[in-house]
Structure 1
Amino acid sequence: MSAIQINNTALIDRLEQVAKRLTDTTPLAAAIALSLDTVTQDNFDSGGRPTWAGLKAGGASRLYKSSNLRRSVLPTHGRDFAIIGTNVPYAAIHQFGGKTKPHVIRPKNGKALAFGGGVYKQVNHPGSDIPARPYLPIDDRGFLQREAEDAIFNDVDIYWQKSFD
């Protein structure tokens, strides 16, 4: 068996530096999480990519009224993972679409509801069909949208180049 010995301390230092950077990918994961967040925020700004299904007349034009969903989306990362997500209860139905359950609507601040020219103590809502309006940079099959893929490729290229600086 043959062996090669490296006597150049600068080269040895550089190889050790590269090996260390490639075993601790926390900086890469942080960059990827930030890119996923940026693409998600861009999806909110542009009304979806592809454009979200139409909203009811008078509804919010960009999927949000209070911005609660948008503000709840947070990136997280660790040594070997990058995550983008939210914990608001209605996040999934906006991402993937679906039907809400029938429910009773009662007044919050008064004794009755004024609706359709009548006054009621409560209204039985039949449920709503909510079209998918994906804001996270994945589709219903779990594939990244093109902008997220491009951003992550860029993050990996930058990390790779920095490993050799």
Structure 2
Amino acid sequence: MSGIAIRIEANGLDTLAAKLEAMTERAVNMTPLMARFGAELLGSVFANFAAEGRPEKWAPLSASTVRSMENDAVEAAQNTARWKNAKSDATRGNIESARIAKDVGRHKILVRSGALRQSIMVGEVTNDSVEIGSSIPYARIHQLGGTIGPVTVRPKNKQALAFPTADGTVVVRSANTPERKIPGRPYLKIQDEDIKLFIGLTMDYIREGAV
């Protein structure tokens, strides 16, 4: 044949067909891709904790929570040898203030003990879904908000609780806290950039079948 022509080799079509078949098989078996989604989403949730809410900031800590944290810090300071060996009330007060600044000031919202954040993990992974969450009982109320209480409070390191009043100090072995509302702070939240990342991961996953 003279002039110009296009030649198609059968083995080239076979290669193309094999690649298309491999890509189709990857599209059917999406479990590895779901596992990738879970790993990336776990990192995104940790970023939500670090930012104290994304894109909207979480509600700030309540005054009662801050007071509770301050009381814990004072109690911890009073159990140190430095506080017990202090020569004056002023020195003890400075030790307590320093402990409050250290223990309360460094805490981010929802990271008082770190237990909630550390409990977040990837759960069941299937061909079309991946689960991420926490099994801690109070994880749900922090995510969605709600009401708790009343709760019975007892001293951690002492035999009684002391409450200042207008008539003096009241000492009790336990006390009931009032009912308290907890605002929702959605730490399990998918961001817009997560969706874009998932789309890119999906395209990469399918393309890998053609390599």
TM-score by length of 1: 0.82
Q: 1:95 to 1:135 in 2, by over 3 A?
A: same
1:74-113, Cα deviation, whole Å (9 max, x unpaired): 0132333211110001101111111102122123443211
Tell me which of 152, 163, 169 is aligned to 1:115. Answer: 163
| Percentage of identical aligned residues | 36
User: Which ranges of 4 or more aligned residues in structure 1 deviate by more than 6 Å?
Assistant: none
The alignment covers a number of residue pairs equal to 154
Would the alpha carbon gap of residues 32 and 122 (structure 1) be closer, same or farther in structure 2, given more than 3 Å must change? same
Q: Secondary structure at the match of 1:154?
A: helix
**Where does the alignment leave 5 or more consecutive residues of structure 2 unmatched?**
1-9, 70-106
The CA deviation string for residues 100-155 of structure 1, in whole angstroms up to 9 with x for no partner, is 02122123443211234432111111121111111111xxxxxx432332232222
What is the match of residue 18 of structure 1?
23
1:4-153 map, 5 Å: 8-49=13-54, 50-56=56-62, 58=66, 60-76=107-123, 77-116=125-164, 117-137=169-189, 144-153=190-199
CA contact (8 A) 1:55 1:61 kept: no
Q: Aligned partners of 1:153, 1:48: CA distance in 2, in Å?
A: 24
Q: Give unmatched runs, 5+ long, in structure 1.
A: 1-5, 138-143
Q: Rg larger in 1 or in 2?
A: 2
Contact 1:39 1:147 in 2 (8 A): no
The 10-residue stretch of structure 1 (109-118 or 77-86) with the greater mean CA deviation from structure 2: 109-118
TM-score (norm 2): 0.65
